[in-house]
Structure 1
Amino acid sequence: MKAGYAPKTVRLFGDWPSDEIAARCAVLHSEMLEWAAGRMPARNAAEIGTLEWLCRAFETDPDSPIHERRQDTRIFYSRYIRILVDLAGDAHLRDIVGRDVRRWHKTWTETLGQRGAYACIQTLRRVVSYGCELRDRSCLELA
């Protein structure tokens, strides 16, 4: 920390112990080691053009609108981004069509209830809107 490594602390969510928290800790640890070796950490290791890549960019890009939000709102977004990535993170943005989103909504309604499904769709809209800010053609088309 004295040498300038950031972030100083990272808040983790979920039940302890869990594979999810262990995986997140492993990623954070490897980023720290990259920084210590003199390299800029690759905070977005997802395949470019996938929904996961866009979600990670939304969370990690310093110019992303997520950083203008209150901490509780950022936590809310991150929770639903994780759900988006778990279900369809490997989907390429250029291949996603409205019927895919409807199918995802149906799945989320069954597992998370109506409000949770709505939150997932709203988060997807925010993430895709951010992609439009980046002038990503796939996001512009999906929007």
Structure 2
Amino acid sequence: MLTRNINPIDKLICQADSALRTIFGNPPLSGRPYPAEDCSEAELSDQEKKHTAGLMRVNHSGEVSAQGLYQGQALTAKLPNVRLKMEQAAVEENDHLVWCEQRLNDLDARKSLLNPVWYTGSFLIGATAGMSGGVSGFRLFCGAAGA
């Protein structure tokens, strides 16, 4: 059986790919169906549509930030089980990211222009949590994600 050792450059390339997919679209999905697939669209006034789009944009930015936390901690986690849990959480949470984007599209609304900033800041927080190592790093992550 052929196994490949992943070097730091490989990890960096994979991380850059994940970041770009998170910020600009097409992250991998878990296969769960879109929860609003069979929902009929309510008639919204222009003001309601604008307000709903603003709320969904904030929600989408929160999902982008969550991905930054997961991916940052997964990259620097010292414990393999913590790394695996962060990687699994990122894949599962990609569904929320895509669903929020779908709803923005349904509302003819755009994503936040600040998403690269939110992702980068969250990635740095997650990476710091991972570098602090062990359970304390995981607790730091959980505290940041729950805030």
Same fold (TM over 0.5): no
Q: What's the TM-score once normalised by structure 2's chain length?
A: 0.29
Q: Which has the higher contact order (CA 8 A, sep 6+)?
A: 2
**Could you tell me the TM-score, scaled by structure 1's length?**
0.30
Select the structure of larger CA radius of gyration: 2
